[in-house]
């Protein structure tokens, strides 16, 4: 069965305001669920380290397994989504993610954990492409910017996941029980949300319906490299911020989780404002300004010896990084010569490489020096993102005149 049979209908067949509102609510719920999953995972990276007896190097290997699986599956994400349809791809990969989160601390050995984490990364990247393709379709059908709001819901979910994890840690609930409860709740939420997704997406331009993956070049290559820098920074905050506050600032795990929650909460605020700021200032200026703010804020967090100032720096870094992913995914979906899912997958194939490069690089530096020193790699990545944003082609988002 092909894309034209499953995932393409004339735009007029799905233009009902009620249908779009329902699909918009479903998309917001799916982004929030993915964020909550990321938040729960980020808060429990120290639990993974403790349960499996890992040092920084082996923990970096575990995080590398997630990223490697994510990158590998991006080469088939467009084809898989085309064959299954966006709704079924989102449902199956989302439920698989929830099950793997629930079992993250239950594997009998490190090799078994690594295999599970590779599958976790594969499911995450396909799910990510599918729900972003849904978001860009809703932008086109609704005629207004939406990606900022959707990614804001991811950040709200991430903040909620970190706060819930922090609360359960304070109550001294077993970490494995915490992840099982969160994973079960997310599987149910994802199943309900997927029922409200669009039945089909607008038809792709003539001649590109069968292209499931495109090699990024030209503007799409630049977008991919910028996504790489942004995801390296964002992923480092997910994976290392709680551990950094524990080790470098002496906070307990439940309190350290607040640092991640501050980062995710500030990112949510920035993303809710993203669509309005985008219409006023344009993608390029908003991306560049946010990246410079993120660079300065994370540098402040690493330089300050005070935990409160460190948490404040994480929050400002989240605010600065807020527009990066929604703007760049939206820009990728508008690249000519491909379906939106294939273009997003192509740009993400480079972008997710930041998640491949980041964990072992940060872990290796932390092993020979300190985690604080290693996180300066993230500061450099955000600074390069700010410099590269100036070369991004300025496009008019939906609802904004050219």
* Confidence band for 294, pLDDT divided at 50, 70 and 90: very high
Q: How far apart are CA 251 and CA 356, in angstroms?
A: 28
pLDDT confidence of residue 10? 45
Q: What angle do CA 365, 370, 376 make, to 5 degrees?
A: 65
Instruction: Write the CB contacts of 370 (distance below 8 Å, at least 6 apart in sequence).
Output: 248
Q: pLDDT tens digits for 18-53?
A: 888 899 999 999 999 999 998 898 888 889 999 999
Which carries the bigger pLDDT value, residue 398 or residue 381? 381
pLDDT at 402: 35
Q: Which residues, at least 6 apart from 248, have a Cβ–Cβ distance to it below 8 Å? A: 370, 371, 372
In a domain? residue 385: yes
Domain-located, residue 111 = yes
Which residues make Cβ contacts (< 8 Å) with residue 110, sequence separation at least 6?
52, 54, 58, 62
Most confident of 2-6, 207-211, 269-273: 269-273
400 in any annotated domain = no
What residues make up the domain containing 26?
A: 3-7+15-203+215-389
Residue 182 counted as domain residue: yes
**Is residue 106 pLDDT above 70, yes or no?**
yes
Quickly state the pLDDT bin for 9 (edges 50, 70, 90). Answer: very low
Which CATH number does the domain housing residue 157 bear? 1.20.1250.20
pLDDT recorded at residue 119: 96
Is the per-residue pLDDT at 350 higher than 90? no
Domain-embedded: residue 399: no
Instruction: Please tell me which residue, 319 or 205, carries the higher pLDDT value.
Output: 319
| Mean pLDDT of the region 342-351 | 74
Confidence of residue 156 (pLDDT cuts 50, 70, 90): confident
Is pLDDT above 70 for 199? yes
- 25: closest CA among 196, 274, 273, 271? 196
pLDDT at 339 (0 to 100):
67
Q: Are 23 and 196 in contact (CB under 8 A)?
A: yes
What's the length of the chain? 402
The pLDDT value recorded for residue 246 is: 86
**Could you tell me the CA-to-CA distances from 197 to 78, 156, 177, 362, 379 in Å, in that order?**
18, 20, 31, 38, 37
Average pLDDT over residues 142-166: 84
**Across all residues in the chain, what is the average pLDDT?**
83
Q: What's this model's pTM, rounded to 2 decimal places?
A: 0.73
Q: Which two tokens stand for residue 282?
A: 């344009």
At 215 the pLDDT is 66
Q: Does residue 398 lie within any of the structural domains?
A: no
Taking each helix axis from N to C terminus, what angle separates 324-333 and 219-249, rounded to the nearest 10 degrees? 160
Residue 50 DSSP SS3: helix
* Range from 111-125, 141-155, 304-318 carrying the lowest mean pLDDT: 141-155
> For the chain, what percent of residues have pLDDT higher than 70?
86
Domain count, the chain: 1
Q: What is the pLDDT of residue 395?
A: 58
Smallest CA-to-CA distance from 244 within 288, 331, 310, 150 is with 310
With H, G, I as helix, E, B as strand and everything else as coil, classify residue 85: coil
Residues 6+ apart with CB under 8 A from 62: 48, 52, 54, 110, 113, 114, 117
Q: Is residue 190 very low, low, confident or very high in pLDDT (cuts 50, 70, 90)?
A: very high
Integer angstrom CA distances of residue 147 from 3, 55, 308, 382: 23, 38, 31, 21
Identify whether 394 is part of a domain.
no
Sign of the Cα torsion 329, 331, 332, 338 reads positive
Q: How confident is the model at residue 244 (pLDDT cuts 50, 70, 90)?
A: confident
Statement: residue 186 has pLDDT above 90? yes
pLDDT at residue 8 is higher than 80: no
- Give the three-class secondary structure for 311: helix
Q: What pLDDT is attached to residue 338?
A: 65
Whether residue 279 has pLDDT greater than 90: no
Dump the DSSP string for 134-148: HHHHHHHHHTS--HH
Alpha helices in 143-218 (DSSP H): 147-170, 175-194
What's the pLDDT score for residue 398? 54
């Amino acid at each position: 069965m092909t894309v034209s049979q499953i995932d393409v209908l004339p735009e007029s067949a799905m233009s009902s305001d009620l249908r779009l509102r329902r699909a918009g609510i479903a998309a917001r719920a799916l982004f929030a669920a993915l964020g909550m999953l990321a938040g729960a995972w980020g808060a429990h990276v120290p639990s993974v380290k403790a349960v499996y007896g890992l040092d920084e190097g082996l923990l970096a290997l575990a995080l590398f397994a997630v990223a490697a699986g994510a990158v590998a599956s991006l080469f088939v994400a467009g084809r898989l989504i085309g064959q299954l349809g966006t709704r079924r791809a989102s449902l199956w990969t989302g439920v698989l993610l929830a099950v793997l989160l629930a079992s993250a601390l239950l594997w009998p050995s490190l090799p078994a954990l690594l295999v599970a984490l590779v599958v976790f990364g594969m499911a995450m990247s396909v799910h990510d492409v599918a729900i972003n393709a849904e978001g860009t379709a809703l932008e086109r059908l609704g005629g207004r910017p939406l990606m900022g709001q959707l990614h804001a819901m991811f950040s709200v979910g991430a903040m909620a996941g970190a706060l819930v994890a922090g609360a359960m840690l304070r109550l001294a609930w077993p970490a494995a029980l915490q992840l099982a409860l969160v994973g079960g709740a997310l599987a149910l939420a994802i199943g309900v949300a997927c029922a409200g997704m669009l039945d089909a997406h607008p038809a792709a331009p003539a001649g590109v319906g069968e292209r499931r993956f495109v090699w990024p070049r030209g503007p799409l290559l630049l977008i991919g490299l910028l996504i790489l820098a942004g995801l390296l920074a964002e992923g480092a905050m997910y994976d290392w911020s709680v551990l950094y506050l524990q080790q470098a600032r002496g906070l307990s795990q439940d309190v350290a989780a607040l640092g991640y929650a501050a980062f995710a909460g500030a990112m949510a605020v920035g993303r809710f404002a993203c669509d309005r700021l985008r219409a006023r200032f344009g993608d390029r200026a908003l991306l560049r300004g946010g990246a410079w703010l993120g660079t300065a804020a994370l540098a402040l967090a690493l330089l300050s010896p005070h935990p409160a100032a460190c948490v404040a720096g994480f929050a400002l870094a989240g605010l600065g990084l807020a527009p990066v992913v929604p703007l760049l995914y939206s820009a990728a979906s508008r690249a000519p010569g491909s379906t939106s899912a294939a273009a997003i997958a192509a740009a993400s194939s480079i972008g997710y490489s930041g998640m491949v490069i980041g964990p072992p690089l940060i872990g290796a530096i932390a092993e020979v020096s300190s985690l604080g020193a290693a996180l300066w790699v993230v500061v450099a990545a955000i600074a390069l993102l700010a410099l590269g944003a100036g070369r991004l082609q300025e496009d008019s988002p939906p609802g904004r005149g050219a």
